[in-house]
Amino acid sequence: MTKQSKADGITSAPPKYLSFLSGGIAGAIEASATYPLEFAKTRIQLRRDPGNATIATVANNPIRMIRDVLRKEGPRALYRGCSALVVGSVVKDGVRFFTFDAIKSAFKDPETGNLSPFRSVLAGMSAGVMSSTFASTPTERVKTALIDDARSSKRFRSARDAVRIIYYEQGFLGMYRGFLGTTLRQSCSTAIRMGTYNILKDYETSHHIGQGLAANFINGAIAGLITTVGTQPFDVIKTRSQSSKGATTAQAFRSILADEGIAGLWKGTSTRLARTVLSAGILFTTYERTMEVLQLVANQVINNQG
């Protein structure tokens, strides 16, 4: 995803740490901007408690979900667990872009600088596994537990408090509830999202189509659309596994089938689709612009030192 520009004084690929910094900044902005949709999607996917009238009557419509939360719990409730997701997104997207760019540099065609579609997908899957292991699973575990806890027992006062209680009750592995579902979702979604984006970008570059804000956003949105449709079941299983009480992947899968049937595996698709398309557009656009700025700064530093 890096590019070279003699006009900007850049004659070689930028240092890989710029991918990590750009990805981290883009991830934080994207997570903050789209969090209400993530909140609504998570609430919709969590298991309902028939004994709790408030939970049992929660609508599947994300607009009604957000409106009801605003009316009953206030605006701050829509950002319950946001800090955990933002921190996770900084690391997750930093690792994801860093890994993808590192693999791309190793596998790209030496003449064109492009990756084949297969290698784009492989690079994306590798990046997804890395980001799930080091960031996504533990931070999304905290985020989901906070959202679930807020509608019932209200034991967690903050993200730090949630980490403390989960660790005390379930140990270190409690922070990795939903690891399989998260890793499957991350590896597949990153492979599809980043692979699709990279294929679109390489195609446009080879046909001399400019890579401005509009192109970056549209490419990211298309990648996000394809990603959501293909990975939704993993996302639902992950959410169920990471409830405040926690569950194994098998238990989460059985609870979905018992409550909703096969259709339950696509619960919250419209909400996640809206967020993913928007977030992918924001993520890739911000990443590209941030990378350009950091490349310029790095070049100026190098030139001044020279």
Q: Summarize pLDDT for 172-191 with one digit per residue, the tens.
A: 999 999 898 888 888 887 77
Percent of the chain with pLDDT over 70: 89
pLDDT digits (tens, 9 = 90+) for 92-136: 888 878 887 787 777 777 776 677 777 777 877 888 888 888 888
pLDDT digits (tens, 9 = 90+) for 130-145: 888 888 899 889 988 8
In a domain, 95, yes or no: yes
Give the integer Cα–Cα distance in Å for 232 and 191.
14
Residue 188 · residue 154 · CB < 8 Å: no
| Inter-axis angle of helices 269-305 and 17-45, nearest 10 | 170
pLDDT (0 to 100) of residue 297: 86
In a domain, 266, yes or no: yes
In a domain, 238, yes or no: yes
| Range(s) of the domain holding residue 67 | 6-298
In a domain, 306, yes or no: no
- For the record, the structure tokens of 240 come out as 């169920």
Per-residue pLDDT at 164 exceeds 90: yes
CATH code for the domain of 269: 1.50.40.10
Per-residue pLDDT at 194 exceeds 90: no
Q: What is the dihedral of CA 48, 78, 82, 140, to 10 degrees?
A: 10
In a domain, 303, yes or no: no
In a domain, 305, yes or no: no
Give the integer Cα–Cα distance in Å for 284 and 219.
8
Tokens 């919709």 belong to residue: 44
For the chain, the residue count is 306
In a domain, 125, yes or no: yes
pLDDT (0 to 100) of residue 166: 92
DSSP letters along 49-98, please? Answer: -TT-HHHHT--S-HHHHHHHHHHHH-GGGGGTTHHHHHHHHHHHHHHHHH
Tokens 């730090």 belong to residue: 160
Give the integer Cα–Cα distance in Å for 247 and 109.
44
- For the record, the structure tokens of 249 come out as 């992947």
Sign of CA dihedral 68, 69, 71, 75: negative
φ, ψ for residue 10, nearest 5 deg: -110, 115
pLDDT (0 to 100) of residue 10: 35
Q: pLDDT category, 237, cuts 50, 70, 90?
A: very high
Give the integer Cα–Cα distance in Å for 240 and 178.
8
Give the integer Cα–Cα distance in Å for 193 and 110.
24
Domain tally, the chain? 1
In a domain, 304, yes or no: no
Q: pLDDT category, 3, cuts 50, 70, 90?
A: very low
The mean pLDDT value of the chain amounts to: 81
Q: pLDDT category, 20, cuts 50, 70, 90?
A: confident
